Structure 1
């Protein structure tokens, strides 16, 4: 776990980027329609590569957002017993930053949350946000077009999340449970704070919740945010933030030379000291992740870290903000507006350097008037950011309590 070569890509997740290159991914520049995407995914998608190989049934779906992005979704309708879906309660799983739906499939079937839910009687749906390998389609744009990447997590909350919620709701005819990790919690909280999506929701489980991030202790993340690396890339015309790009080596060397940055164990330096990962799981992770996102998205997150705010993207110009928002400053996502009767499960860790304990306490303070029987808080002192999706004991410590929470809703 101390091999710096093994973790160099992970560090680049937050602090590096590169120019956009020619793509050969499943949903390429030519894959603009749902039919093409589904045909390709049938042989080279997440179902074929990660789910069916474990003897689970799996369906590939696509959904088109209101602003034209074609997103990949996977459905695991039943457990290995093969029982038909029936009226099983649906669950939508949403990954975090620079990840995709494979997040929920990294552990063995008896430990991965997606498979556990399927085996315990849930109709499981996996989301993949725009810009990731299996969600590169658009009705008119190619990923090689700068305009394709003109978005931040504002758009994930405004378009991607509603599209996936609506698709699950329409396909199942039921309200759904939601599980988000990291950025997947932020876009959900942003939506809930506007009283959006809650009419289709049974409950939400938020793991490593991200809302306030001004006190994060990750030296790599803070260095990246405070030294404007993402803005520099944007000014250079780099619209896609590609963690596997050519700029990795030089930028990594530069970062590792900075005071206070320890590159002997890069994963822990980035996420906090994860207690419960084994090297084989990390190897599986590196086979599939990290995924690309928009440079503008990284700038937006950097703004949150620097300004200690939860606002929409700040164009750093009053007139530009007026053009987009009708006011000189970006609107605030007010966490106190989250409906007090919305069932919430929040799981956070004492060793998490990204979802820092003090920042989570700010979120919890904004929920202080939440109905007492609708808010479950789970704190694991030894858990860090990656433990929630890759920890070898997460089933016992997190997922079993999470499923018990769902059964009460």
Structure 2
């Protein structure tokens, strides 16, 4: 984050610390905001400081935090962020492990973009869990490889196929090794669910390492998806080819441009803030009252967090194909990769771990009809939970003001049964 975004963050925090805003917040939350203000370096100097990372934000909110790194079988170096216990707890052994996997173009930051009593990562830590936040290859925190550089086109030759086959298993093994736990609770949001289905289809032995899985806004089938992204799907393959020919493999990394947009147009005091909201609704579905205004600039300074062009194209392929399949390289290259002209289908019957599906009525990217199709193919569906709110879209699962009331408490209840 550049100097303008830092100023915007400070303004946002000052607004939330005003008497009117503070009246509705806990004293611990107010102290956390004050701490966050103090943590921003070089305030008042010519150099305004740098963007607060996920670990810095967690620490500023009064929670313990650790940074870990794990290397996948194919050489990508992933960064994990850990909250080992709650803000008011003491270190202890044997806490159940909660592993959180992020959505498309997201990162570990997306589970902490709210007050401590509202954000999922903090709620889990305060509820007795040892919380691990993942960062899959190519995002802000996982841009390293044992041989390749992000400037190399070869670095970006992956889709969520590789995330499911390499990243998630490597991260789970590392977490279990560090904690000594035999298994863990898995929470996925959007792409975080897609990679789970892919992993279990290809590496079903990992079912034994997951005590229960909560799938928020679950995505496997996308036949009924809506919005402008669907209109772009027929052109996605051509765009992928053009990008490759130009030597471009990365899509929408975190950038100064997004910081500039967030700080100048999306601050809750800006006249154009409504445009930012409407843009999010246009992509993910209507819900006018769930995105926290005071956190919007901070959210948009962390998201999009970047991924490969292939990853986004893979979702477009699902829309066009109407099936849940591996990446389509075209008939000739499919023969090289798979030994057949068409991509193999993922087998959801291999997902034997207990699964809870959590879905919203107005989610354009995880449409209720598509979720129902997924539910029918899962052999151990333990819970099929429709959010009890007329409008609840794709983004509300991570950032919603009332997601704790509508979703998270039910995830805690679900996990308590296993």
User: Which of structures 1 and 2 has the larger relative contact order (alpha carbons within 8 angstroms, sep 6+)?
Assistant: 1
In the alignment, structure 1 residue 382 sits paired with structure 2 residue 391: yes
- Per-residue CA distance 1:74-105 (angstroms, 9 max, x = gap): 11011011311310000000100000000101
Offset of 1:192 from its aligned partner?
2.0
Structure 1 residues 120-135: aligned runs within 5 Å: 120-135=127-142
Structure 1 residues 5-404: aligned runs within 5 Å: 46=53, 48-174=55-181, 175-194=183-202, 195-218=204-227, 220-228=228-236, 229-243=239-253, 265-275=278-288, 276-317=290-331, 319-339=332-352, 342-367=353-378, 369-370=379-380, 374-380=382-388, 381-404=390-413
Offset of 1:133 from its aligned partner?
1.2
More off after superposition, 375-384 vs 265-274:
375-384
SS at match of 1:392: coil
Distance 1:379 1:110, change over 3 A: closer
CA–CA separation in structure 2 for the residues paired with 1:310 and 1:101: 26
SS at match of 2:386: strand
Offset of 1:245 from its aligned partner?
6.9
CA–CA separation in structure 2 for the residues paired with 1:85 and 1:221: 46
In structure 2, stretches of 5+ residues that fail to align are 1-49, 259-274
Distance 1:346 1:163, change over 3 A: same
Offset of 1:310 from its aligned partner?
1.1
Offset of 1:297 from its aligned partner?
1.3
SS at match of 1:346: strand
- Per-residue CA distance 1:331-365 (angstroms, 9 max, x = gap): 110223322xx221110011001111111111112
SS at match of 2:69: strand
In structure 1, stretches of 5+ residues that fail to align are 1-42, 249-261
- Per-residue CA distance 1:128-187 (angstroms, 9 max, x = gap): 011111111111111001110010000000100011100111111211000000000000
Give the structure 1 partner of residue 261 of structure 2. Answer: none
More off after superposition, 146-155 vs 291-300:
291-300
CA–CA separation in structure 1 for the residues paired with 2:103 and 2:133: 12
Distance 1:227 1:48, change over 3 A: closer
Q: Is the 8 A contact 1:345 1:378 kept in 2?
A: no
Q: Is the 8 A contact 1:234 1:296 kept in 2?
A: no
Give the TM-score, by structure 2 length. Answer: 0.79
Give the structure 2 partner of residue 257 of structure 1. Answer: none
Q: Is the 8 A contact 1:224 1:230 kept in 2?
A: no
Distance 1:246 1:397, change over 3 A: closer
Offset of 1:376 from its aligned partner?
4.2
CA–CA separation in structure 2 for the residues paired with 1:57 and 1:143: 30
CA–CA separation in structure 2 for the residues paired with 1:313 and 1:139: 24
Q: CA RMSD in A?
A: 2.2
